[in-house]
Amino acid sequence: MTSWMTPSPEENEFSSPLPPPPAPPAQGASNKSPRRTIGVLLTLVVGFVGGLVGNEVADNWDLSFGSSSSIQSSNSPLVTSQVSPDDESVGDTVIAQVANAMADSVVTISSSIDDGMTTGEGTGTGVVLTADGEILTNAHVVADATEVKVRFAGETEPRLAKVLASDPGNDLALLKIEATDLKPATFAQPGTIRIGDGVIAIGYALDLDGGPTVTSGIISALKRTIITESGALNGLIQTDAAISSGNSGGPLVNFRGEVVGINTAVARSDANSAANNVGFSIAVDEIVPVLEQLRSQAGGQARQEGFLGVGLAERTDGGQGAIISSVQPNSPASLAGIRESDIVLSVDGEPIDGQAGLVAAIRDASPGQTVEIELLRDGKRITVKAKLVARTGD
């Protein structure tokens, strides 16, 4: 079974390029400095061992190929390419252009974390939303944080940030710093993302010194659903652009310089399956409504989730949908006529691929909202309408 890692401060089954220490983005994309140090040490050891082996080989084998005094180093200059000063396009690639354009809109986020059992430091990435200091990141990047700071590329000192609102279910959080004249990132129009589009992931991978890390790839798939330790995430972009710990909360950008998603998780191999270049980003289509909810929450309005009142099970016969394993009495599901063993195929026209997809679809709906649910019952498709209520607990 493939596990997910969210690039964040800690490592979970889904590391959301990112959970808070002491774990490593689905999974976390954030990073702790000790891990980075270990990686560097391993690299140095390998290089040092290689040098020792090379010396031993030279000592035991005659590799001098003669000792003529005529063989000496040259004073000739290094041969380099000729670049015309009038040719501005040379070396100026699309990726470089996008990275330069986004440089002032991407920040590194440092969190002091205390979950009641352990304390530590977490690192992630954020995207500037407004000129007056709103910043968007993953909820797992700032989970259990007692203090949050952000730093812009080229600056030496961090700025104190306040967590205005957080939605762990959708893995997004809204921060605010005291600032003016910041450069907001430009987001793509919802509905314009296509499979095969070239994309660039930007973020502070592994909390490496210097500016953000830039990797490139394509959009591999759309509307993916995964389950992280924070819950179900739906409507995700899948990409093969490299996403690592520390990338959590950073932007996935198209070749026009528009943010198409927020990087949140990566798949990692386990004993039963192999995963390569499978990362996930929260699509702009999901970001737009969640941002409205975060701003309302910051203004004092409590966040409410929809509730249907069913138990679920996954299909194991290779088919699509989620199986209703139980129905609570007098719940919206019961009143709508949903029965045990029904298979949910879609909600409001959006296909439900599995249990996580239904959980996320109902969670993101509002109490009082009526949803249209397509069911498969005894081999026949039927449609029912359910008026959701507010979730009152787990």
Residue-wise pLDDT for 356-366, tens only, equals 899 999 988 98
Residue where a domain terminates, one of 302, 326, 342: 302
DSSP 187: B
Residue 174 lies in a domain: yes
The three-state secondary structure class of 121 is strand
Whether 187 and 236 share a structural domain: yes
Q: Are residues 152 and 291 in the same domain?
A: yes
Listed residue (386, 142, 126, 143) closest to 247, CA to CA: 126
My answer on whether 289 and 326 are in the same domain is no
Q: How is residue 74 written in tokens? A: 């040259």
Pairing of strands 198-203, 213-228: antiparallel
Give me 317's structure tokens. 């016969």
Query: Is 77 among the domain residues?
Result: no
CA 88 to chain centre: 34
Read off the pLDDT band of 84 (50, 70, 90). low
User: Does 16 participate in catalysis according to the annotation?
Assistant: no
When pLDDT is cut at 50, 70 and 90, the band that residue 67 belongs to is low
Please tell me which residue in 3, 111, 140, 220 is annotated as part of the active site. 140
Q: What percent of the chain clears pLDDT 90, i.e. is strictly above it?
A: 58
Question: Is 191 part of a structural domain of the chain?
Answer: yes
Identity at 52, one-letter amino acid code:
L
Residue for token pair 């009152």 = 392
Residue 202 lies in a domain: yes
Q: Structure pTM?
A: 0.74
Catalytic (active site) residue 111: no
One domain, residues 175 and 189: yes
Q: 261 near 252, Cβ under 8 Å?
A: yes
Catalytic residue among 16, 105, 111, 248: 248
18 band by pLDDT with thresholds 50, 70 and 90: very low
Q: Tell me if residue 4 falls in helix, strand or coil.
A: strand
The tokens for 177 are 């710093």
What is the pLDDT averaged over residues 251-272?
A: 91
Same domain, 244 and 151: yes
When pLDDT is cut at 50, 70 and 90, the band that residue 80 belongs to is: low
Domain containing 157: what range? 1-41+92-302
56-65, 245-254, 332-341: lowest mean pLDDT where? 56-65
Does 76 map to a domain? no
User: Is 11 a member of any domain?
Assistant: yes
Give the CATH number for residue 228.
Answer: 2.40.10.120
Residue 231 — very low, low, confident or very high, per pLDDT cuts 50/70/90?
confident
Is the predicted pLDDT of residue 312 greater than 90, yes or no? yes
Residues 275, 355, single domain; the answer is no
Residues 234 and 353 in one domain: no
328 found inside a domain: yes
- CATH code for the domain in which residue 383 is found: 2.30.42.10
Query: Considering 302, 328, 357, which residue would you say is the last residue of a domain?
Result: 302
**Of residues 5 and 10, more confidently modeled:** 5
Q: Are residues 1 and 20 in the same domain?
A: yes
Among 272, 302, 332, give the residue marking a domain's end.
302
Q: Are 18 and 141 in contact (CB under 8 A)?
A: yes
C-alpha span between 274 and 26 (Å, rounded): 15
Residues 132, 200 within the same domain: yes
**Same-domain status, 32 and 157:** yes
Q: Do 282 and 324 belong to one domain? A: no
Residue 78 lies in a domain: no
Q: Residue 314 to residues 167, 263, 319, 325, 358: CA-CA distances in angstroms?
A: 25, 27, 10, 9, 11
Q: Respond yes or no: is residue 248 known to be catalytic.
A: yes
Structural domain tally of the chain? 2
Angle at 251 between CA 245 and CA 254, to 5 degrees: 130
Mean pLDDT of 39-56: 34
Do 386 and 308 touch, CB atoms closer than 8 A? Answer: yes
What is the structure's pLDDT at 58?
33
Regarding whether 380 and 243 lie in a shared domain, the answer is no
